Amino acid sequence: ALRESCLPKAQKQSHGSEYRLQPPESYKVAILGAAGGIGQPLSLLVKMSPLVSALHLYDIANVKGVAADLSHCNTPSKVLDFTGASELADCLVGVDVVVIPAGVPRKPGMTRDDLFNINANIVKNLVEAVADKCPDAFIHIISNPVNSTVPIAAEVLKQKGVYDPKKLFGVTTLDVVRANTFVAEKKNLRLIDVDVPVVGGHAGITILPLLSKTKPSVSLTDEEAQELMVRIQNAGTEVVEAKAGAGSATLSMAYAAARFVESSLRALDGDSDVYECAYVQSELTELPFFSSRIKLGKRGVEAVISSDLHGLTEYEQKALEALKPELQASIEKGIAFAQKHA
């Protein structure tokens, strides 16, 4: 019988779900930065997935204890720990999905771009190892600034001759999770029913929730729509300020990242009805990377859903045009960094 996961799933689309009777395959997942604020709860949630046979946890320190602790959970996956650069290659052998939450988080007063100087190098080094050891894996980038770290990863993979744009994802699931929560709260809807596509990028005004495309459709006054958009765009900062120097979102991020991992595993496993928003190489706009709804399949991005960008409200259309220069600059900054340090 099909084993059911207790992990969060994206809302089902109304069309064409296909279930099979044979048991699902099992997959190897690696988490790089596994001892961190996101890494630990994310590792726990992935450990709960029936689709995972091996969970490889990597960090520069403190990962042994996390792995020992998790390995006592009586769920199917085997947990292995890897510490420091000398064990990174072993961590990645045979891995199907690599998740990267390694790097420093924001403190109050900082933008995500303020993290660039430290995190760019971390992502570059980790993706170089991914390119060498598991170039066919799905790569999920969580480390900020996502708008730049994904272009860095793409350049690194190109330099190594293994870039597959269908398998490189900036994780923007948290923006969707937040949008769904805030809209459901505002309109008193059942949370499970609400699905808001969020497009653009993952920082400030580049986060563009398309509230007019919410399913089920909701009626919002202009004032309500503007308020919700601003809250969704500032939600990361809301958490950074509440944590007052102790970091940024970790628990909601782990929840969102686990949902994206589970969606990827379901797609790898042959589920033909998997849709998520993610920041990917894209031709939807003139920008080379753009977050939108995508259909996931065994080989990664199977389709980029363009219909969400049709028939936007005037406010959304203006916000879309307004985000482009900032997103373009972040993309160029990432590419320039990777080319300079090639």
Residues annotated as catalytic are 202
Of these partners, ligand NAD, ligand LMR, none, which one is at the site of residue 239 (CB under 5 to 8 Å by kind)? Answer: ligand LMR
Q: Which stretch binds ligand LMR (CB under 6 A): 116-124, 154-162, 231-239, 286-294?
A: 231-239
Which of 249, 265, 267, 287 forms a contact with ligand NAD (CB under 6 A)?
249
Total number of residues binding ligand LMR (CB under 6 A)? 12
Window 198-217: contact mask with ligand LMR (x via CB under 6 A): ----x---------------
Q: What share of the chain is helix, strand, coil (3-state, %, to 5)?
A: 45, 20, 35
Residue of 25, 283, 265 lying closest to 137 (CA atoms): 265
Compare residues 88 and 208 and give the one whose CB is closer to ligand LMR. 208
Tokens matching residue 206: 């580049």
By CB under 6 A, residue 115 contacts ligand NAD:
yes
Alpha helix stretches (DSSP H) within 85-234: 88-92, 116-133, 146-159, 173-187, 222-233
Q: Which stretch binds ligand LMR (CB under 6 A): 15-23, 74-82, 94-102, 104-112?
A: 104-112
By CB under 6 A, residue 119 contacts ligand NAD:
yes
Window 166-185: contact mask with ligand LMR (x via CB under 6 A): --------x-----------
Of these partners, ligand NAD, ligand LMR, none, which one is at the site of residue 119 (CB under 5 to 8 Å by kind)? Answer: ligand NAD
Distance CA 78, CA 70 (A): 9
Task: Yes or no: say if 40 and 66 are a contact pair by the CB < 8 Å rule.
Answer: yes
> How many Cα atoms occupy the beta-carbon half-sphere of 334 within 13 Å?
29
Beta strands in 203-306 (DSSP E): 207-209, 274-281, 289-297, 300-304
Of these partners, ligand NAD, ligand LMR, none, which one is at the site of residue 184 (CB under 5 to 8 Å by kind)? Answer: none
Give the amino acid at 142. Answer: I
Task: Yes or no: say if 288 and 151 are a contact pair by the CB < 8 Å rule.
Answer: yes
Distance CA 250, CA 49 (A): 19
* Cβ-closest position to ligand NAD: 36
Q: Least Å distance between CB 339 and ligand NAD? A: 21
By CB under 6 A, residue 101 contacts ligand NAD:
yes
* Cβ-closest position to ligand LMR: 236
* 109-114, Cβ contacts within 8 angstroms, sequence gap of 24 or more: 110/240, 111/145, 111/203, 111/204, 112/144, 112/145, 112/146, 112/147, 112/202, 112/203, 112/204, 112/236, 113/145, 113/148, 113/203, 113/330, 113/333
Q: Least Å distance between CB 121 and ligand NAD? A: 8
By CB under 6 A, residue 150 contacts ligand LMR:
no
Which of 70, 99, 174, 301 forms a contact with ligand NAD (CB under 6 A)?
174
Residues 127-146 within binding reach of ligand NAD (CB under 6 A): 142-144, 146
Task: Yes or no: say if 321 and 201 are a contact pair by the CB < 8 Å rule.
Answer: no
The contact set with ligand NAD (CB under 6 A) reads 32-33, 35-39, 59-61, 101-106, 115, 119, 122, 126, 142-144, 146, 171, 174, 202, 247-250, 253
